[in-house]
């Protein structure tokens, strides 16, 4: 028990006030020495939630200004203050505002500020559920991201006139509740057990579970990318490339999505869904997990970022962080991520028409086979009904591709999957 308690103390050493004196502010008044700091055991404890290598300026009105290198202090920094009310402003070195406000301090009180969030806003349902709220939800994230792509096409009105671009907390909960209902009703977790799989990739979710949403339409992978988590620029460049991918032309079977791209990012064992549309200033992440950022715990949520750079930093810093102090080459595949651009092909009268054409082609094919057999009998009797125009024996089936075959080939030409690897 004693060794366990000692280990806990060592793990917490970097956040305990008694060990943060090296990060305390330098006072402008020379009479304020370290003994006075200990006497006034109160102030502000700041927890950095932004980029790992950030450096900020912390300015306390009429008192002091400090430069804080967040990497050197492990994301935790303490500012000793006397009891009272203080106006604090925090900016990046570039001058970009990070946080500003009034803070009231009481004796022997440490106020905690979480600053530097890379999302502009975050919204979740009041009931604060996530995939982990369900018995079999642990392995459901790839499935839920696929289902979210379909559900959000409906709620945002992307198939026709766009209704809105903002995903709400209600929408997130609908995705989780309806998606988990399908996941459990279709015994997907049992399927994973039978296959000896604990988690699915997006491709496996579509291939193995596409029947779960077949009444709404179909999902296809338009493009697949791979990159390294060594720095956020790899994520940013791949998202930029994927979001610039051309949408399918009208009439080709894909839904009209008004420029919104649905991107699944996977670093095993987790998958999240991004909605990206630069023309709409839309840079959002739908996360069905329960996630801790700073000291706060977030249920299934939609995170909205200001720009592409913040989106990439959010994913790199808060969603898929790598263990610190380890050579990236030693991590190998563990440091890689997959980015999948999804396309939703909804069920529609047009799709039904294509199905009827395929059915008609099958009927025609059957009739032609029967006619060919009759022609063969006639030919054996000296007739010519089973011959091609050049007089060579053959059937209608061998001379002509069916409508279904042509449609499948055209589909393959229009939507051929492309794989891109970014070193």
Domain CATH code at residue 297: 3.90.70.120
* Whether residue 296 sits in one domain with residue 198: yes
* Whether residue 153 sits in one domain with residue 107: no
Q: Which residue has the higher pLDDT, 127 or 397?
A: 127
Residue 205, pLDDT score: 93
CATH code of the domain covering residue 101: 2.60.40
Residue 8, pLDDT score: 41
The two tokens of residue 167 are 């995903």
User: Of 96, 116, 136, which marks where a domain is finished?
Assistant: 116
Residue 258, pLDDT score: 65
What does the chain come to in residues? 423
* Whether residue 142 sits in one domain with residue 90: no
Start-to-end CA distance of the chain, whole Å, equals 47
Classify residue 8: in a domain, yes or no: no
Distances (CA, A) of 13 to 7, 17, 65, 374: 10, 9, 26, 89
Residue 17, pLDDT score: 34
Residue 144, pLDDT score: 96
* Whether residue 49 sits in one domain with residue 187: no
**Residues 11, 131: Cα–Cα separation, whole Å:** 29
* Whether residue 129 sits in one domain with residue 190: yes
Classify residue 376: in a domain, yes or no: no
* Whether residue 208 sits in one domain with residue 69: no
Task: Report whether 192 contacts 309 (CB < 8 A).
Answer: no
In the structure, what pLDDT confidence band is assigned to residue 191 with cuts at 50, 70 and 90? Answer: confident
- Mean pLDDT across the stretch 367-384? 47
- Mean pLDDT across the stretch 329-349? 83
Q: Which residue has the higher pLDDT, 356 or 227?
A: 227
For residue 20, pLDDT over 50 is answered with: no
For residue 420, pLDDT over 90 is answered with: no
* Whether residue 76 sits in one domain with residue 138: no
Classify residue 417: in a domain, yes or no: no
- Mean pLDDT across the stretch 376-399? 37
Average pLDDT over all residues of the chain: 76
* Whether residue 233 sits in one domain with residue 299: yes
**Residues 241, 274: Cα–Cα separation, whole Å:** 14
* Whether residue 51 sits in one domain with residue 145: no
- Mean pLDDT across the stretch 92-119? 91
Classify residue 12: in a domain, yes or no: no
* Whether residue 95 sits in one domain with residue 197: no
For residue 22, pLDDT over 60 is answered with: no
What domain count does the chain have? 2
**Residues 266, 255: Cα–Cα separation, whole Å:** 24
Classify residue 194: in a domain, yes or no: yes
User: Of 81, 116, 151, which marks where a domain is finished?
Assistant: 116
- Mean pLDDT across the stretch 364-393? 43
* Whether residue 292 sits in one domain with residue 210: yes
For residue 150, pLDDT over 90 is answered with: yes
Least confident segment among 20-24, 178-182, 275-279: 20-24
**Residues 316, 257: Cα–Cα separation, whole Å:** 27
Q: Which domain holds residue 108?
A: 43-116
User: Of 75, 101, 116, which marks where a domain is finished?
Assistant: 116
How much of the chain exceeds pLDDT 90, in percent? 45
Burial class for 276, CB neighbours closer than 10 Å (0-12, 13-18, 19+): buried
Residue 30, pLDDT score: 41
Classify residue 178: in a domain, yes or no: yes
At 18, is the secondary structure helix, strand, or coil? helix
Least confident segment among 172-176, 187-191, 197-201, 258-262: 187-191
For residue 156, pLDDT over 60 is answered with: yes
In 3D space, the residue among 190, 187, 177, 185 whose CA is nearest the CA of residue 147 turns out to be: 177
Task: Report whether 294 contacts 114 (CB < 8 A).
Answer: yes
* Whether residue 226 sits in one domain with residue 299: yes
Classify residue 4: in a domain, yes or no: no
């Amino acid at each position: 028990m004693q060794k366990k308690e000692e280990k806990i103390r060592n793990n917490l050493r970097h956040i305990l006030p008694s060990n943060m004196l090296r990060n305390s502010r330098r006072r402008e008044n020379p009479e304020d020495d370290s003994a006075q700091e200990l006497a006034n055991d109160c102030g502000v404890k700041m927890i950095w939630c932004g980029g790992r290598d950030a450096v900020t300026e912390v300015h306390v009105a009429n008192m002091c200004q400090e430069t804080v290198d967040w990497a050197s202090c492990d994301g935790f920094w303490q500012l000793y203050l006397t009891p009272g009310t203080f106006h604090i402003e925090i900016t990046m070195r570039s001058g970009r505002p990070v946080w500003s406000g009034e803070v009231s301090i009481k004796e022997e009180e440490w106020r905690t500020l979480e600053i530097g969030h890379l999302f502009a806003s975050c919204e979740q349902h009041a009931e604060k559920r996530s995939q982990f709220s369900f018995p079999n939800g642990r392995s459901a994230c790839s499935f839920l991201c696929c289902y979210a792509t379909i559900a959000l096409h409906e709620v945002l009105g992307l198939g026709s006139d766009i209704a809105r671009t903002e995903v709400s907390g209600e929408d997130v909960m609908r995705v989780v509740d309806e998606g988990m209902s399908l996941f459990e009703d279709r015994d997907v977790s049992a399927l994973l057990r039978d296959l000896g799989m604990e988690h699915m990739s997006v491709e496996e979710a579509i291939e193995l579970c596409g029947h779960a949403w077949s009444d709404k339409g179909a999902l296809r992978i338009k493009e697949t990318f791979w990159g390294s988590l060594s720095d956020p620029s790899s994520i940013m460049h791949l998202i930029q490339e994927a979001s610039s991918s051309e949408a399918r032309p009208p009439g080709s079977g894909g839904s009209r999505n008004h420029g919104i791209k649905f991107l699944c990012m996977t670093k095993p064992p987790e998958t999240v869904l991004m909605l990206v549309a630069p023309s709409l200033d839309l840079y959002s992440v739908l996360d069905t997990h329960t996630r801790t950022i700073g000291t706060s715990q977030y249920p299934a949520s939609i995170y909205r970022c200001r720009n592409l750079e913040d989106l990439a930093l959010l994913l790199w810093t808060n969603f898929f962080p790598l263990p610190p102090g380890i050579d990236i080459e030693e991590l190998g595949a563990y440091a890689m991520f997959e980015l999948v651009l999804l396309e939703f092909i909804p069920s529609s009268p047009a799709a039904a028409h294509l199905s009827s054409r395929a059915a008609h082609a099958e009927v025609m094919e059957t009739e032609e086979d029967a006619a060919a057999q009759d022609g063969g009998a006639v030919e054996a009797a000296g007739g010519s009904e089973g011959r091609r125009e050049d007089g060579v024996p053959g059937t209608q089936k061998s001379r002509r591709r069916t409508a279904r075959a042509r449609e499948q080939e055209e589909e393959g030409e229009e939507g051929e999957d492309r794989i891109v690897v970014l070193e």
